[in-house]
Structure 1
């Protein structure tokens, strides 16, 4: 069955995610639109009345439960716009000159950072929208965004690896690490884990203990299937503390012994 033919029960998916991982922040979807009018046609879409960062727009969905749509004009500048393909990746943007002496020692380091970012190609889209998955206002989002603690994230990754195992390699671009999460997932279609950066925490309300996973709807469903199998094997969140001075053999038999 092709992706276009798949119908997702988002309420059930979110219920399962909360059941297995006790997620505290609202799981959301993100979708790019070739035409602004397509974005504006979404039911109960909110449009910003002031200028924001993309981090703030994402947070309005993940923290407040809003469905929000934006174009390049709603975002504060080229850095936010470029990550989601709404600004050209031209010479000026690639220079990173505004970060020189602030985030990086010199112009060369700033430019190296810009070149290292994984971003959506420019010219394909006019708009973007985010919305809680359970609202079903984005019935087929391009990617899903899930915030969680490191403990929640490692079990989620274990779920992804249950079937058709894959070793995941992720990068850390540093500042503008939204390029490591939604930028990379939108551009490559691959699950993308990130350490949210200063701006995401300062402007997007990301908490100290939160990481961000961005991935396709089909990979989210795959992870949940894996989590169900792990749960049946007694591998669940929260992970119970065994004790740093206990005889470990009994515990290892439960966690790593072969199941019938």
Structure 2
């Protein structure tokens, strides 16, 4: 979990995301709550009037700008709620029976998929809320969710690696890829990249060209500091096309100096 004593200027952070990366989708935060009543006390919180997937709830914040809160009862199936830590990874969930023959050839493969998913530990929380970062209603969120094109995303990653470099490694669980993004980020606190899955695109409104990064507020700030440094070096979004048949030397000289 994030340090709740930390304060962030969310308007500045979001302005920087739009300035440097030209995002099209609202940057949102996600926060877990030990008690449902604490979630329900958030100003202007919306509660679902029907059953949804977790993808739809996140999309209502990222696509509509809403602040929305849920408990397990608001979600359509344990697959969603287990990723958030609102349902146990019990024997029935792990057996993968519901996905066998649909996403995987047999139940053995389906069960292997269930075991491979990274999820928020069960038993710590009773509710979840999502909200646009600029609303500052989650004070602060546990994680930030950034939807971006591959071109935008690689610059965000480059920004994360500007200072205190480390190789970033992720996995692809396939369907239920929310486990690769918010599930992993909630469980580990590490920046977590995913290729949104079929369900996120069908139910969560994720566009064809979008990827998703889930990361702690401090890591988002670190990434933006790096992106700003890269911008000063002329490494900006949109990335200008140089030309696939041009002599590369004159283009590289802009960054690395004249080369023989």
State TM-score, norm by structure 1. 0.97
- 1:118-145 CA deviation, whole Å, 9 max, x = no partner? 0011110000000000011112100000
Say whether residues 1:222 and 2:222 are aligned partners: yes
- 1:7-45 CA deviation, whole Å, 9 max, x = no partner? 100000000111000000000000000000000000000
In 2, Cα distance between the equivalents of 1:193 and 1:200? 14
Displacement of 1:250: 1.0
Displacement of 1:257: 4.1
What pairs up with 1:105-144 in 2 under 5 angstroms? 105-144=105-144
- Runs of 5+ consecutive residues of structure 1 not aligned to the other structure: none
Aligned partner of 1:14 in structure 2 is 14
- Return closer, same or farther for 1:256/1:213 CA change in 2, 3 Å cut-off: farther
- Runs of 5+ consecutive residues of structure 2 not aligned to the other structure: none
Aligned partner of 2:175 in structure 1 is 175
| 8 A contact 2:4–2:139 mirrored in 1 | no
Greater Cα shift, 245-254 or 58-67? 245-254
State TM-score, norm by structure 2. 0.97
- 1:193-229 CA deviation, whole Å, 9 max, x = no partner? 0000000000000000000000000000000000110
Counterpart of 1:4 in 2: which secondary structure? coil
In 1, Cα distance between the equivalents of 2:3 and 2:97? 41
Aligned partner of 2:62 in structure 1 is 62
- Return closer, same or farther for 1:257/1:81 CA change in 2, 3 Å cut-off: farther
Q: How many pairs were matched up?
A: 257
In 2, Cα distance between the equivalents of 1:98 and 1:149? 32
In 2, Cα distance between the equivalents of 1:209 and 1:3? 33
